[in-house]
Amino acid sequence: MRIGRVSEVEARAVLATHNAHKVAELRAILAPVIAGWRDEWLVGAADMGVDSPVEDGATFEENALLKARAASRATGLVAIADDSGISVDILGGAPGIFSARWCGRHGDDAANLRLLLDQLADVPDRLRGAQFVSAAALVTPDGEEVCELGCLRGVLTHAPRGNGGFGYDPIFVPEGSQVTTAEMSAERKNSLSHRGRAFRALAPALARYLAAG
């Protein structure tokens, strides 16, 4: 069911990320749930010349709100952000909020994935449980804040499979599936992903502000 009614094309929001994959993925997630959705309503922080703040929060929620606040202050727009990662059971929830820089460099997906696989090399299938976690935050120029959490349980493979998605998608098989999220179509992945769940929960709040814009 579609949510809300968006009025004019002039309304815009900024997504507090410099990751083009996330911008495209979020547009696809929001299109089915916000009436009259247009991709041009949502712009990435890089397109607005907004720098990334230091992510020094202790939780996914804190980091998502931190990024959204910074983007809203810099642009004067409604800002949305997510902080996502993978939490591995046998590692006590790590990499967690450090997922994007697990190898010591921010955003090196291939190196992050290799390091995690090396750390789990001798871990048997029965102990390879994990979950993707995403906190989705919305901050308005007048200071209203909303944050929603989405999770997806699954297990980790021993080697990458699939060419879709990004990050740890090639080694994550959701519960009830036989394929990794990198082997799924974008539509299938978005329908069940942690980020999809978090942003669908956030969609009603975003729809209200797009309509008011």
Beta strands in the chain (DSSP E): 13-15, 42-44, 78-88, 129-139, 145-156, 172-174
Find the catalytic residue in 39, 47, 82, 83.
83
| 20 C-beta neighbours (distance < 10 Å), count | 12
Q: Is 83 a catalytic residue?
A: yes
Residue with token string 């997630």: 29
CA atoms within 13 A on the CB side of 213: 22
What does DSSP assign to residue 166? Answer: -
Residues that are catalytic: 83
